[in-house]
Chain A
């Protein structure tokens, strides 16, 4: 009996468990998936919680509901991977041997990396919205806030879902307008990037939108520390920005188990071949999604597209053939822009987000780099698609490889 072990039962691990169990004979292949948490979070939904659009129960379901029968599901902390000996060691000493390993342990926020961040104002006037706890605490804070300086800061690159902080300030603009205190709320977007986004055309489109909504952008700000007494954030080159409430994307790191296994880079992300998605060092280890160091967005859409490539290349490897599938870095992100509208960007390693239609060229229904109601509906309906189609590894009418059809250069 041969063995595949999947570490992490988030978006990537769950998709792989479903795809692999359908493909591989139960007589020949044992598939095991390990995760420390029993709850599956629909993470794109966290963004809506501070504004009362979603509640906690809208974004959670038991992980076990999405793992197919015939896959062994273990809830336990993973101590480490021993890649030289093809073993995973769980807490308590249980050992899982594998022929192939898929690491899909994701990324997590590490507020403790920034001095003063997880201090006396944490979850009082300083919040993240990348955890359910942070999103819920922020909702409670916003419910009675009287206004002041709202600062949205990104601590470090890369970070999960790079459009989320933009969506956050757009939704905050709408929320405080509707509450009737927008004139008392000063919104500032503070980023280590040279502009609103990384690529020129998207940066322009989003930069214009921020301006239109009276949101100030402070670029090239690399966070050193948070001062809880003075209520300012400081950069390494001595710039200070005062806040009344700070919402932050803390430093993102790969799981600590990657460090314990000696397999990560400075931020515990695993060096991975960006085209084959196989570990650079180990031929029987694939890395799916946020856990890898590939130079594209850390986002669910990327995991979804990448899972096709990991699946195909794993099949080639099992058969002892050369890997054929080639990941292009495809990412596709809906961007909520407030007041019932949204935008959409579609890009890969080589091509920046361009204007056009998606997924059907010339038809859409979604407009790339446009601000429309239809794009917002796309985001709304996506939650249903996520739970019912995507996690189960079923086919969606979108290609894993980015297409130039329907795009304007």
Chain B
């Protein structure tokens, strides 16, 4: 557990940087977390972030790809590398767990 200050707000985060309390999240915080990941947030990013905040439970890359906001390829383009992990971090929700 650690503390971080984003946009003047101090928040608790996990060791790998995910916010503990997603209710403390706001768009300014998102922009600063994104900056740490070298991402400049656009309206499209925010549309995806809104979707994943609303669909936190059972979230998968496929689900985002079926959201009508972006397809899977577009999701990767917005959040390169691990799109689900990175977008979750920026959206201030828990780290997604993979279930097999």
Contact = CB atoms under 8 A, between A and B. Distances in A.
Interface string A260-274: 000001110000000
A32 interface: no
Counting chain A CB atoms within 10 Å of each CB, which of B60, B80, B98 scores highest? B98
Interface string A278-299: 0000000000000001011100
Contacts of A222: 61, 72, 76
Interface string B67-93: 000001101100011100000000000
A220 interface: yes
Contacts of B66: 266
A197 B76 CA distance: 22
Contact of A193 (B61, B72, B100): B100
Interface string B5-19: 000000000000000
A159 B60 contact: no
Contacts of A267: 62
A295 B80 CA distance: 26
A265 B63 CA distance: 9
A384 interface: no
A158 B62 contact: no
Interface of B: 58, 60-63, 66, 72-73, 75-76, 80-82, 97-100
A265 B72 contact: no
Q: Is the interface of B mostly helix, strand, loop or mixed?
A: loop
A198 B99 contact: yes
Contacts of B72: 222, 224, 236
A115 to B, nearest CB: 12
A237 B60 CA distance: 16
Contacts of A71: none
B76 A158 contact: no
Nearest to B67: A266
A64 B87 CA distance: 50
B99 A224 contact: no
Contact of B100 (A236, A265, A266, A297): A297
Contacts of A194: 82, 98
B99 A157 contact: yes
B77 to A, nearest CB: 8
A197 B100 contact: yes
Contacts of B63: 266
Contact of A156 (B58, B62, B75, B97): B62
B73 A157 contact: no
A158 B56 CA distance: 17
Interface string A146-176: 0000000000111100100000000000000
Contacts of A193: 98, 100
A197 B99 CA distance: 10
Nearest to A293: B58
Contacts of B62: 156, 266-267
A145 to B, nearest CB: 29
Given A236-B76, A237-B76, A266-B62, A220 B82 contact: yes
